[in-house]
Amino acid sequence: MALLEVENLRTRFATDRGVVRAVDGVSFTLEQGEVLGLVGESGSGKSVTSLSLMRLIREPPGKIEADKLVFDGVDLLKASESTMSSLRGGKMAMIFQDPMRSLNPVLTVGRQLTETLRRHLRLDGDAARRRAIELLEMVGIPLAEKRLNSYPHQFSGGMRQRVMIAIALSCNPRLLIADEATTALDVTIQAQIVDLVKRLTRDLGTAVIWISHDLGLVAGLCNRVNVMYAGRIAETGSVRDVFYRPSHGYTVGLIGCTPRVDRVGAPLTLIEGRPPDLIRPISLCPFLPRCAVAIDACNKTMPAMNTIEAGHAARCHADLSVFHQKGAA
Amino acid sequence: MADLAATRLSDKEDDFRPAGGLQLAARQLLRNPAATIGFAVLTLMVLAAIFAPLISPHNPIQIKLSAKLQPPSAVYWLGTDHFGRDVVSRLIYGARVSLSVGLLVILFSFSLGVPIGVLSGYVGGRLDATLMRLVDAFLTFPPLLLAVAIVGLLGPDIQNVMIALGVVQAPVLARLVRASTLAAREETYVTAVRALGASPTRIIVGHVLRNVLSPIVVQLTIGFSAAVVSEASLSFLGLGTQPPQPSWGRDLAEARRFMTDAPWLFLAPTLTIMLAVLSINFVGDGLRDALDPRSWVTRRRATQEADD
């Protein structure tokens, strides 16, 4: 059985201007130990999807609906707030984008680590402390024991993100959601964090949802990718399928505007225009106004999710095989 | 340079001895000279108030007309008032009233204003609207007038003065706490703590409240000063401490009649009130810094930069 099953997830927000459909019909499953990438530009619904999974959306003004939302055998839609509280930080954990702001500035790092350990694993003071030291060592913080008494501002951004990862992993979660976890960090630190996450998923069997707009990073880290646009999944497939055989106009555009070291000097393309207003009802492909490869059919009907090959599907009318790299490994 | 060596040394201490946040904060507070002095002065005042019968040289309410309006001397260190009562003894006994008014008023406004403010700010919505309109209603009255009205309703008595002043101060605190809570609630770390499964109570007490503590402490020290002064005003109007009981404010009010003949009479309570208010403000400032670990480093960095 899959660890996480999401079927037709819809998250809406009531605003003064109308209802914003931030996530509109997202479906996917996640197996244990799998690393799933969620890519797309700002406002495509990546973060709202992940916050919805943890039911961290404030209701109201938000509203989460789904045909199915089951995590590790628990129906998240019907779960009580206390069930959710014991899942969060226990079986499902999350790392946020801004490490400078995701730790409480007035509490020591040790206190913030042990707080979660005490709550979920019911460890007493000493045991929690020992485990906290272990965790800090695991994420590569030197002199872990004395660093427990440090405050967040005494750490650099990369160190803080390691601390956040240590806290998130402290109770051996089955699912780790990383929301732009390395976006605020420089590339060397980013590489270290990615290595760390890779090692941890391998050693602990944690499933990861990695949200990013950095395609290179996702390609190196994930098994599968969901490309999101306008609150929907535009394309889904294995990393190789999606990057070498992109089958949605938006994916093609995204890949085109990613700089690559093996194509130094090649021009970067641009996706003109802006993402659609999610208050307006969507009847055609939401990417149509910006699409470079649109065909006649696009102006007539909304494309359905077409299976291209096993495990690879896209919501696109156009035949994009010209963009596919033949024989690419 | 010596200062830098000292901070480095204590850094090492921090590093190798496990210390709780509270210990670190206390150490930080004692590193601030103004706060230390303020704390010492307040401690002395509190001790004087507690042991008043043992240390006051004379009976504070015994009338001795033969010794009225005497200037400071070896027998009467700060002179006597128009009934021949010893000013020093009256100040010592007066500390009991003034300090307990200050303390109880801020306790009262804290226990009323902070829960209202935090709930209002954190929960929001209809609860926020209701509570804040109520607070607004109280804030429309001029503070002293509201206190006079409440004491008038309850009867002139020192306990009622404390209640009245507490009721006057609580809405101010509630507003401040609500505003700080609103800001803290939207911080990423609050979402992060929620994502780690903390209960709402835990989030409010352990994280939100802990982060809005600094403005609360500052407001409370202002409230303490205001309470001491307001008690004086209300006693002056005959609504607070009743004669012949001494209180700093009452004595000051009475002394104004003899301002030119016996200036020590009003100088003594004035300076005492000033000293108390100044001390509590120093302690408040020190506490504000000590409660915010981020400000610890600023000072350390400042020393280092000055050295470099």
Task: List phi, psi (to 5°) of A37.
Answer: -95, 140
Q: How confident is the model at residue A260 (pLDDT cuts 50, 70, 90)?
A: confident
In B139-165, which positions are buried (b, 16+ CB within 10 angstroms) versus exposed (e)?
eeeebeebbbebbeeeebebebbbbbb
Give me chain A's average pLDDT, please. 84
Task: State pLDDT tens for residues A230-252.
Answer: 888 888 988 888 888 888 888 88
Dihedral angle of Cα A13, A15, A17, A21, to the nearest 10 degrees: 0
Residue B15 falls inside a structural domain: no
Task: List phi, psi (to 5°) of A106.
Answer: -100, 5
- Among chain B residues, the shortest Cα distance to A150 is held by B15
Q: Give the separation between CA A216 and CA A212, rounded to whole angstroms.
A: 10
Mean pLDDT of A15-31: 87
Contacts of A93 in chain B (CB under 8 A): 195-196
**Number of Cβ within a 10 Å radius of residue B203:** 20
- Inter-chain contact B191–A167, Cβ cutoff 8 Å? no
pLDDT at B16 exceeding the cut of 50: no
Residue B226: C-alpha distances to residues B106, B229, B284 (Å): 10, 5, 14
- Per-residue pLDDT, B168: 92
- Per-residue pLDDT, B112: 93
Of residues B14, B195, B199, nearest to A93 (C-beta): B195
Of residues B188, B195, B296, nearest to A88 (C-beta): B195
More confident of the two residues B166 and B72: B166
Domain total in chain B: 1
Mean pLDDT of B115-128: 90
pLDDT at B3 exceeding the cut of 80: no
- Chains A and B: how many Cβ contacts under 8 Å? 91
Residue B30 falls inside a structural domain: no
Contact indicator for A118, B222 with CB cutoff of 8 Å: no
- Inter-chain contact A106–B211, Cβ cutoff 8 Å? yes
Task: State pLDDT tens for residues A250-259.
Answer: 888 888 777 7
- B155 three-class SS: coil
- Per-residue pLDDT, B307: 47
More confident of the two residues A127 and B134: B134
- B82 three-class SS: coil
User: Among positive and negative, which fits the CA dihedral B65, B66, B71, B73?
Assistant: negative
Q: What is the ipTM of this complex?
A: 0.79
Residue B35 falls inside a structural domain: no
Task: State pLDDT tens for residues A280-313.
Answer: 777 788 887 788 777 887 888 888 888 888 888 8
Q: Which residue has the tokens 């209300």?
A: B234
Q: Strand pairing partners for B306? A: none
- Per-residue pLDDT, B20: 63
Contacts of B294 in chain A (CB under 8 A): 105-106, 151, 153
- Put simply, whether B185 touches A (Cβ < 8 Å) is no
Task: State pLDDT tens for residues B189-231.
Answer: 888 888 888 888 888 888 888 888 888 988 998 898 888 888 8
Contacts of A85 in chain B (CB under 8 A): 197-199
- B86 three-class SS: strand
- Inter-chain contact A105–B210, Cβ cutoff 8 Å? no
Q: Give the separation between CA B45 and CA A187, rounded to whole angstroms.
A: 59
Q: Give the separation between CA A328 and CA A136, rounded to whole angstroms.
A: 40
pLDDT at A279 exceeding the cut of 70: yes
- Per-residue pLDDT, B13: 41
Task: State pLDDT tens for residues A82-126.
Answer: 888 888 888 898 888 887 888 888 888 888 888 888 888 888 888
Residue A98: C-alpha distances to residues A51, A264, B188, B292 (Å): 15, 31, 8, 21
Contacts of A84 in chain B (CB under 8 A): 197
- Inter-chain contact A105–B297, Cβ cutoff 8 Å? no
- Per-residue pLDDT, B48: 92
Contact indicator for B302, B7 with CB cutoff of 8 Å: no
Q: How confident is the model at residue B17 (pLDDT cuts 50, 70, 90)?
A: very low
Mean pLDDT of B143-160: 88
Suggest the residue from B15, B127, B194 to mutate for an interface test with chain A (most A CBs closer than 10 A).
B194
Give pTM, 2 decimals. Answer: 0.77
- Per-residue pLDDT, A293: 78
Contacts of B185 in chain A (CB under 8 A): none
Task: State pLDDT tens for residues A190-218.
Answer: 888 888 888 878 888 889 999 988 888 88
- Per-residue pLDDT, B173: 94
**Burial group, residue A86, by CB count within 10 angstroms (0-12, 13-18, 19+):** middle
Residue B165 falls inside a structural domain: yes
pLDDT at B130 exceeding the cut of 90: yes
Residue B142 falls inside a structural domain: yes
- Per-residue pLDDT, B2: 42
Q: What's the CATH code of the domain at B161? A: 1.10.3720.10
Contacts of B197 in chain A (CB under 8 A): 84-90, 116, 119-120
pLDDT at B52 exceeding the cut of 70: yes
- B80 three-class SS: strand
Task: State pLDDT tens for residues A151-174.
Answer: 888 888 888 888 888 888 888 888
Residue B22 falls inside a structural domain: no
Contact indicator for A94, B195 with CB cutoff of 8 Å: yes
Contacts of A168 in chain B (CB under 8 A): 196
- Per-residue pLDDT, B297: 53
Q: Give the separation between CA B196 and CA B208, rounded to whole angstroms.
A: 15
- Per-residue pLDDT, B21: 67
Task: State pLDDT tens for residues A128-144.
Answer: 888 888 888 888 888 88
- Inter-chain contact A96–B192, Cβ cutoff 8 Å? yes
- Per-residue pLDDT, B4: 43
Question: Encoding tokens for residue A241?
Answer: 């399928």
More confident of the two residues B21 and B99: B99
Residue B105 falls inside a structural domain: yes
Q: Which of A196, A241, A194 is nearest to A221 (CA)?
A: A194
Residue B289 falls inside a structural domain: yes
Containing structural domain, residue B53:
45-307
* 3-state SS string for chain A: CCCEEEEEEEEEEECCCCEEEEEEEEEEEECCCCEEEEECCCCCCHHHHHHHHCCCCCCCCEEEECCEEEECCEECCCCCHHHHHHHECCCEEEECCCCCCCCCCCCCHHHHHHHHHHHHHCCCHHHHHHHHHHHHHHCCCCCHHHHCCCCHHHCCHHHHHHHHHHHHHCCCCCEEEEECCCCCCCHHHHHHHHHHHHHHHHHHCCEEEEEECCHHHHHHHCCEEEEEECCEEEEEEEHHHHHHCCCCHHHHHHHHCCCCHHHCCCCCCCCCCCCCCCCCCCCCCCCHHHCCCCCHHHHCCCCCCEEEECCEEECCCCCCHHHCCCCCC
The superfamily in CATH containing domain A4-91+205-325 is P-loop containing nucleotide triphosphate hydrolases (3.40.50.300)
- Among chain A residues, the shortest Cα distance to B202 is held by A115
